[in-house]
Structure 1
Amino acid sequence: MKNSLYITLFLLATSFSQHLSGQSTSDSIDVFIKEKMIQLKIPGLQLAIVKKGKLEKLSYYGLANIEHNVAISSKSTFSINSMTKAFVGIAIMQLQEQGKLKVDDPISQYINDIPNEWRAITIRQLLSNISGLPNNINDKEQVLGDGTEENNWEMVKKLPMEFKPGERFSYNQTGYYILGRIITKLSSQHFTKFIEENQFKIADMSSTQFGDSNDIIPNSAGAYSTIVNTDGKWINDEKLHNAFATFPIFFRTATGIISTSEDLGKWLIALQNGKLLRNKNSVNEMFTSVKLNDGHIDGFNKLTNGYALGWPTVVRDEHPAAAPVGGMRSALFVYPKDELSIVILTNLQGSNPEWLIDEIAGYYFPDMKIKNGFGLSKNLKLLRQELIHSKFKNSFKIYSDIKRNNEDYNLSEDEINSWGYQLIEQNKKNEALQVFHFNTLLYPKSANVYDSYAETLELTGNRKEAIINYRKSLELNPANSNARQFLENKK
């Protein structure tokens, strides 16, 4: 049953792709998307690509509803979850352009009923999740209290600050609730209406609205999930479940917009064309990652490693991006230097499509392809280049020669390991084997590098050497369940 479902999804994706442009770039992207949908078990997906201010590609694949075999269409609507915060960022910048606020104003200038220790927190700190405010949701991401605004507000005000404002990054929903109140107060209309009139209507987003699972949403693509929240931790049980979410109206600055990839493409074009924000400096400020008190930038993970004004950011020298993500199921990347934007909406919580978008951008900019070394550190790229020339032989000697000429040259255990797994995904198993072996020479006291090397030895058919290295890993870390399980199965 399980296999037949994903065969069906693949066939649906194939049939929809026939309506697309015949260009090789477009066709290659379709092939990539179909493969990832099968690999990640994504029922339905929409894609929009904006290039140089125009909608370059609109595609849709798979099923909106598995139970009734309803196909995704161009009109299918998806919850974009926390991507909603990017709309809040624009709303705040619109109010700044109108002279009604400044993002460095303290929130006490606009909100009175707050604890004294909150008073100096700025709007910028709310937008960038560095405020230190207590969160108005619990570990299971449920709104505190009985779901009413008044009770939720009274509860969160009694909680202690998590840290000094600006001290660190911590994803926070309370800040966005306060931003909603500020927008409502200064615009003299509810924040949802302000965003509808000043973004949805201006960008002609006819399929976009605020809503949740309790609302009747035209053409809803629904929601599925392979993850469950157990004791505050998200666990992937690899089983497909229906997913439902409710967002009280007061909470909808944090999450609450339903949209399509086409509408989001229109929204991005309106932003780029000056229809949403008149001043380019406003866009630049909104996309600029906010620094902590100690001067460094932080974010969710190694990809979305910064946060600007409502917009997560990808901070890097090559092809930086503003990158809203939502619900572990939707994402869009704006590459300001490349005049390219990519939107992916899915109905699978846990698909995390942000990890696919750079690879799609690579069809337009080949240096962004993982197979060409994109995403590797400058130091690792140098080693990669030399290893390619040597056909991945004598890796430790090559590394030693590089380091001899550059005392500051270093590679971390994790980045080498990650590169090895990338090579496996590219079906370069022998090259991966050499990389993992090199990592054991560089970090001989790490259980993890021997475990990865052993996995790859087993993958390439060298079971005898795999057993030796699993034993070595287990000696270094007796708690390594992966090594223990392998060795027990081989008895």
Structure 2
Amino acid sequence: MKTARIVSSLLISALVLAACPAWAQRGNPRMEYGGQSVDAMAASFMAENGVPGMALAIVQAPYIPRVTGYGLADIGKKLLVGSNTAFDLGRMGEAFTAVAVMQLVETDRLGLDDPVGRHLDNLPESWRPVTIRMLLSHASGIPDYARDACADPARPLDLAAVVSAVGGKPLAFAPGSAVSGSATDYFLLALAVEAAGKERFEDFVRVNQFERLGLRQTFFAGETEKGRGEAVEQNGNRHKEFLSNPGLINPVERAAGYRATFRGLAQATPPHPRARLGSGGIWASAMDVSLWDVGLAGGILVKDPAMRALLYSPAVLAGGRREPVMGAWRFPGRAGLMYVTGDADGQSTYLSRFTDPSELVCVTLLANKEGVDLSQLARRIAGAYDPRLGPPLMLGMRMQQSPYPVKQTLARFQAAMREFGAKEAGEASTSKASAKPGAEKAGMEKPGQEAKASGPGHQVAERMVFDFPAAPGRTVRITARAWEQDGQVWLGCTDPAGAGGASATPGGYGASVPVDPASTSAVIRAKLDRALVAAVTPY
């Protein structure tokens, strides 16, 4: 009965949204999607994923109408997440490196088709012909030093150490023929920026991005004087200096990073400031990430529209084949949508950009827990600002948009599930799912935003069932489905917490049923989220 009421409510919401032009959402103070407010989404997500603190910022270009902090930036010191709290952006830093490269290309100090060996000495012979363009798009085939067993995040990175670690390994593929994420690519780009710009990488980025945009809460990890805040531990974890120093009102403080362990959350040890040169080491507030995001749109950072188009479009490989990535940026299949993530050293970060002129919504989420998938929450939040941007409203489902065709999407998910030890519980099936509300089984309802597909009121869906290992001798049945809706491909799988774990699922709205982040259901859910992401991204 309760489910029926939720379904009815969602149907009404969907009909109202469908009747309203999307532009009416700009300035609408009722920020909800599927009957759930943005704050309720954030609070439920944090509880169910064991996230201590999180920051959210929204762009509706050229405005930034929301910057909000939730929870604790530091559990031990009881520091709150404020609008100025800085988080480690992780590999989101690659996007800053890519902008730096393009700025040097614009001034003819670097060429996209320059071999990296033209700018750097002491490289392995197999690396020297790799071009700047290939490094930007992770199409080099050069091994990733960060995955080497000898990689030591406590030590500064230098070329000799990287070459010693992975220089003797063969290329993973012929340069330009495929893509694979490698921190080595962006380390080499950072060194190329230093060589061509004739200054330290950090100085070049600071002057040409941070200072150009007036980013006051963005800095490199090694800038020890920034983001330290007041020593509250010397005053019973209470702030007092702001009473005499106005610069400490709403202070810029670094969020402590945390990892999940069998004993609960453990604080992560920050790496050496130069341990991730080119692919990390940048700290920023959600507000500053949003300002930088707006700066990407026009000529403030990269003047040439052709250069911007290259930077913010899928990579083109040998033979004209496209991959739905460009360095750190992903392109999930919706026209104009791109996003970038970071996940390292106790923190998770996410920025999505809906760049179509009729949309212009961007979502920044920064969380101080490692290994958290922020993409599903971000998509629902985007839907609160423009209902066209949200995911399909489905109860009890984990979900991602896919840039691949339906069959390929499900095949990729099958491969990802096998990596986690899941086994198929039957053959894949193809069906035409009714677009009439209530036609699906429990956990697969589709109230609202139904598909436009091959026939009136129908869509073609690929379905597969898995037995997912939950404990020794015990499995959980997971149903996955890929389908096309309104010209976009979606991949979903049943939530192990069921439709009752409403608040963390893309369509499970209404009353929140908390899920213990240490429970078996939560652990399986986290693995399923990783499988979903692996299915819809090349790396």
1:133 matched to 2:142? The reply is yes
1:119 matched to 2:128? The reply is yes
CA distance in 1, matches of 2:200, 2:74: 33
1:289 matched to 2:314? The reply is yes
CA distance in 2, matches of 1:344, 1:121: 34
1:159 matched to 2:169? The reply is yes
Partner of 1:187: 197
Partner of 1:482: none
Q: What per-residue deviation string (whole Å, max 9, x for no partner) do you get for residues 199-226 of structure 1?
A: 0001111111111698873211111111
CA distance in 2, matches of 1:391, 1:138: 43
CA distance in 1, matches of 2:454, 2:374: 37
CA distance in 2, matches of 1:386, 1:217: 52
Give the one of 351, 354, 360 matched to 1:335: 354
Over the matched positions of the two proteins, sequence identity in percent amounts to 22
CA distance in 2, matches of 1:284, 1:127: 14
1:82 matched to 2:91? The reply is yes
Q: By how many angstroms is 1:35 displaced?
A: 1.0
**Closer/same/farther in 2, CA of residues 129 and 386 from structure 1, 3 Å limit:** same
Partner of 2:179: 169
Give the one of 19, 27, 30 matched to 1:24: 30
Q: By how many angstroms is 1:320 displaced?
A: 2.4
Q: By how many angstroms is 1:138 displaced?
A: 3.5
Partner of 1:307: 325
Which protein is richer in strand relative to its size? 2
1:372 matched to 2:389? The reply is no
Residue type of the alignment partner of 2:264: K
Partner of 2:384: 363
Q: By how many angstroms is 1:389 displaced?
A: 6.6
Partner of 2:412: none
TM-score normalised according to structure 1 size: 0.69
Partner of 1:323: 340
Partner of 1:252: 277
2:55–2:68: 8 Å Cα contact kept in structure 1?
Answer: yes
Secondary structure at the residue paired with 1:288? coil
Residue type of the alignment partner of 1:313: R
Q: By how many angstroms is 1:90 displaced?
A: 0.6
Q: How does 1:12-91 map to 2 (within 5 A)?
A: 23-25=29-31, 28-91=37-100
Which protein is richer in helix relative to its size? 1
1:49–1:340: 8 Å Cα contact kept in structure 2?
Answer: yes
Secondary structure at the residue paired with 1:284? helix
Secondary structure at the residue paired with 1:202? helix
Secondary structure at the residue paired with 1:349? coil
Partner of 1:411: 462
Secondary structure at the residue paired with 2:145? coil
CA RMSD of the aligned region, Å?
3.6
CA distance in 2, matches of 1:419, 1:387: 19
2:219–2:226: 8 Å Cα contact kept in structure 1?
Answer: no
Partner of 1:421: 494
Q: By how many angstroms is 1:340 displaced?
A: 1.4
1:136–1:143: 8 Å Cα contact kept in structure 2?
Answer: no
**Closer/same/farther in 2, CA of residues 389 and 294 from structure 1, 3 Å limit:** farther
| Count of residues paired in the alignment | 385
CA distance in 2, matches of 1:129, 1:250: 19
Secondary structure at the residue paired with 1:90? helix
Secondary structure at the residue paired with 1:186? helix
Partner of 1:224: 258
**Closer/same/farther in 2, CA of residues 238 and 143 from structure 1, 3 Å limit:** same
**Mind listing any 5+ residue stretches in structure 2 that lack a counterpart?**
1-26, 229-252, 408-429, 445-452, 465-478, 483-490, 506-520, 522-539
Secondary structure at the residue paired with 1:329? strand
Secondary structure at the residue paired with 1:59? strand
CA distance in 2, matches of 1:148, 1:323: 24
1:133–1:161: 8 Å Cα contact kept in structure 2?
Answer: yes
CA distance in 2, matches of 1:428, 1:204: 42
Residue type of the alignment partner of 2:292: W
1:366–1:372: 8 Å Cα contact kept in structure 2?
Answer: no
1:386 matched to 2:404? The reply is no
CA distance in 2, matches of 1:42, 1:250: 26
CA distance in 2, matches of 1:82, 1:117: 25
Partner of 2:12: none
Residue type of the alignment partner of 1:255: G
CA distance in 2, matches of 1:382, 1:388: 16
Residue type of the alignment partner of 1:322: Y
**Mind listing any 5+ residue stretches in structure 1 that lack a counterpart?**
1-20, 228-236, 299-305, 396-401, 433-454, 456-491
2:156–2:275: 8 Å Cα contact kept in structure 1?
Answer: no
**Closer/same/farther in 2, CA of residues 248 and 46 from structure 1, 3 Å limit:** closer
1:277 matched to 2:299? The reply is no
2:222–2:274: 8 Å Cα contact kept in structure 1?
Answer: no
Partner of 1:477: none
Residue type of the alignment partner of 2:325: Y
CA distance in 1, matches of 2:54, 2:316: 34
1:325–1:332: 8 Å Cα contact kept in structure 2?
Answer: no
Residue type of the alignment partner of 1:42: V
Structure with bigger gyration radius = 1
